[in-house]
């Protein structure tokens, strides 16, 4: 009988498994159930996979500061007997662009970031922005924030496989099955039921099911987890003109882009009230590129007037509809059922710190490194959002 069952073997579930197995004070067994071991349709494989310190909540900044340290030392942390994984980490910087209507919010966020140890530079007014970034059309911009350190991007699929492989080397068992039900005894989960009908008893259960998190919670008898899959489309484009190689640019329109190989990746963050309804398909919305992305790209970077869309794919954010922040830790009543859900596009970069924190609270009953209690389920029950404004 496993001591811990983890539902979902993507980057979050595998990071939790790794840190549990690594904990010298945890002597239990860990079993991870992953219904798609190829990860073909996993967000972990389809993510743009980047990391930044430029968030609006101190806890998210602390999570990313630890994440950066971990990701830049992956060969040390996740290597196995001299076999060092390569996640192709690229040092880069996030550049956030804002217009006059956004300037007050930028001012507030910058104070939080600097107070939390993030190194962020600031340029005010179109002339200052254009002088620093002459390839931009800055005429309608009022403010720009750029990270100075501890940001970049990497291969998310490689990180997921590295966590999984290392966890297995430490004794974690992976099973290629879905969990379809749970058995309860009062307020305690006593077993998971697999798609083949097997009943798997355990002491603790972790919901790390990504976009399917709400359905997993529902079969455990928890009906109000505000996590829903939201489709995002990523487009790979090429241009005759060079793209800045060390920047991930987030335009005031919600469009983002960064260099990738000979070209660049781009997509968009939907505005308030315009996000897609719940969606589980992977169809690419090509009209999004033609009608929105290309015009906004060409407006912001004149060199992008002549670009060629080469490929595209669909993926999903596991959106936390309450506040775009993760939901972590035990249920207040079903105390052996743990949440690691609702990362809203931040799960890849947050996986090291969340994996470590979840392992701590499962094994020791408390967070020992970064205090992640602000992300607890009690805020869901109370309808009390912990708003994160920097969602891409």
Average pLDDT over residues 367-372: 97
At 343, give phi and psi (nearest 5°): -75, -10
374: exposed, middle or buried (C-beta count within 10 Å: 0-12, 13-18, 19+)?
middle
- Distance, CA of 22 to CA of 6 (rounded, Å): 16
Could you tell me whether strands 263-268 and 227-239 are parallel, antiparallel, or unpaired per DSSP bridges? antiparallel
Q: How confident is the model at residue 48 (pLDDT cuts 50, 70, 90)?
A: confident
Q: Name the percent of the chain lying above pLDDT 90.
A: 82
Could you tell me whether strands 337-341 and 327-330 are parallel, antiparallel, or unpaired per DSSP bridges? antiparallel
Average pLDDT over residues 46-65: 94
According to the model, what pLDDT value does residue 281 have?
Answer: 83
* H/E element, 119: none
According to the model, what pLDDT value does residue 320 have?
Answer: 94
According to the model, what pLDDT value does residue 272 have?
Answer: 66
Average pLDDT over residues 119-143: 96
pLDDT at residue 167 is higher than 70 = yes
Could you tell me whether strands 204-207 and 4-7 are parallel, antiparallel, or unpaired per DSSP bridges? parallel
Q: How confident is the model at residue 2 (pLDDT cuts 50, 70, 90)?
A: low
- Distance, CA of 324 to CA of 343 (rounded, Å): 7
According to the model, what pLDDT value does residue 37 have?
Answer: 86
Q: How confident is the model at residue 8 (pLDDT cuts 50, 70, 90)?
A: very high
Token readout for 286 is: 């090509």
Measured on CA atoms in the order 172, 5, 40, 180, is the torsion positive or negative?
positive
Q: Name the percent of the chain lying above pLDDT 70.
A: 98
**Out of 44-48, 137-141, 339-343, least confident range:** 44-48
Q: How confident is the model at residue 104 (pLDDT cuts 50, 70, 90)?
A: very high
- Distance, CA of 348 to CA of 160 (rounded, Å): 9
Q: Could you give the 3-state DSSP secondary structure of residue 368?
A: coil
pLDDT at residue 262 is higher than 90 = no
Token readout for 270 is: 């939907």
Q: How confident is the model at residue 43 (pLDDT cuts 50, 70, 90)?
A: confident
Residue-wise pLDDT tens digits, 183-222: 999 999 999 999 999 999 999 999 999 999 999 999 999 9
According to the model, what pLDDT value does residue 270 have?
Answer: 76
| Average pLDDT score, the chain | 93
According to the model, what pLDDT value does residue 277 have?
Answer: 73
CA 344 to centroid of chain Cα atoms: 6
- Distance, CA of 390 to CA of 392 (rounded, Å): 6
Please tell me the total number of residues recorded for the chain in this structure.
392
CA 100 to centroid of chain Cα atoms: 29
According to the model, what pLDDT value does residue 279 have?
Answer: 75
Q: How confident is the model at residue 390 (pLDDT cuts 50, 70, 90)?
A: confident
According to the model, what pLDDT value does residue 275 have?
Answer: 64
Q: How confident is the model at residue 273 (pLDDT cuts 50, 70, 90)?
A: low
Exposure letters 288-298 (e unless 16+ CB within 10 A, then b):
bbeeebbebbe
Q: Are 308 and 239 in contact (CB under 8 A)?
A: yes
Exposure letters 50-89 (e unless 16+ CB within 10 A, then b):
bbbbbbbbebbbbbbbbbbebbbebeebbbeeeeebebeb
Could you tell me whether strands 143-147 and 93-98 are parallel, antiparallel, or unpaired per DSSP bridges? antiparallel
According to the model, what pLDDT value does residue 278 have?
Answer: 75
Average pLDDT over residues 316-320: 91
pLDDT at residue 164 is higher than 70 = yes
- Distance, CA of 192 to CA of 341 (rounded, Å): 18
Between 125 and 389, whose confidence is greater?
Answer: 125
Q: How confident is the model at residue 371 (pLDDT cuts 50, 70, 90)?
A: very high
For the stretch 241-245, contacts whose Cβ atoms lie closer than 8 Å and that sit 24 or more positions apart, written own/partner, are 241/303, 241/304, 241/306, 244/133, 244/135, 245/92
* H/E element, 87: none
Between 26 and 261, whose confidence is greater?
Answer: 26
- Distance, CA of 236 to CA of 257 (rounded, Å): 9
List the domains of the chain with CATH numbers.
4-82+155-226+322-382 (3.50.50.60), 93-148 (no CATH), 228-318 (3.30.9.10)
Matching residue, tokens 């994984």: 85
Average pLDDT over residues 223-252: 91
């Amino acid at each position: 009988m496993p001591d811990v069952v983890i539902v979902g073997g993507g980057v979050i579930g595998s990071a939790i498994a790794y840190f549990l197995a690594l904990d010298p004070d945890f002597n239990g067994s860990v079993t991870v159930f992953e219904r798609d071991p190829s990860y073909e349709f996993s967000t972990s494989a389809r993510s743009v996979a980047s990391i930044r310190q430029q968030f609006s909540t101190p806890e998210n900044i602390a999570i990313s500061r630890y994440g950066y340290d971990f990701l830049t030392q992956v060969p040390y942390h996740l290597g196995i007997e001299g076999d060092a994984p390569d996640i192709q980490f690229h040092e880069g910087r996030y550049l956030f662009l804002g217009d006059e209507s956004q300037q007050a919010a930028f001012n507030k966020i910058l104070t939080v970031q600097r107070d939390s140890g993030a190194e962020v530079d600031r340029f005010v007014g179109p002339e200052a922005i254009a002088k620093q970034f002459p390839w931009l059309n800055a005429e309608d911009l009022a403010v720009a924030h750029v990270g100075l350190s501890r940001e970049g991007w990497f291969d998310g699929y490689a990180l997921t496989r590295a966590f999984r492989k290392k966890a297995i080397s430490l004794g974690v068992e992976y099973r290629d099955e879905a969990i379809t039900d749970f058995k309860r005894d009062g307020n305690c989960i006593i077993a998971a039921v697999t798609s083949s009908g097997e009943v798997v008893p355990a002491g603790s259960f972790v919901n790390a099911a990504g976009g399917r998190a709400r359905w997993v919670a529902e079969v455990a008898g928890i009906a109000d987890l505000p996590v829903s899959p939201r489709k995002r489309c990523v487009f790979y484009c090429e241009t005759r003109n060079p793209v800045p190689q060390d920047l991930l640019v987030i335009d005031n329109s919600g469009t983002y882009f960064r260099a990738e190989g000979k070209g660049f990746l781009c997509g968009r963050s939907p505005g308030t009230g315009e996000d897609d309804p719940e969606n589980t398909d992977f169809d690419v919305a090509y009209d999004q590129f033609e009608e929105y992305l290309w015009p906004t790209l060409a407006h912001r970077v004149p060199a992008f007037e002549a670009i060629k869309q080469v490929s595209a794919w669909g993926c999903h954010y596991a959106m936390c509809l309450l506040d775009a922040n993760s939901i972590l830790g035990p249920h207040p009543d079903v105390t052996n059922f743990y949440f690691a859900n609702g990362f809203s596009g931040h799960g890849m970069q947050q996986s090291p710190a969340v994996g470590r924190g979840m392992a701590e609270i499962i094994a020791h009953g408390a967070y020992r490194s970064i205090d992640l209690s602000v992300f607890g389920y009690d805020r869901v029950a109370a309808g009390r959002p912990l708003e994160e404004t920097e969602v891409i």
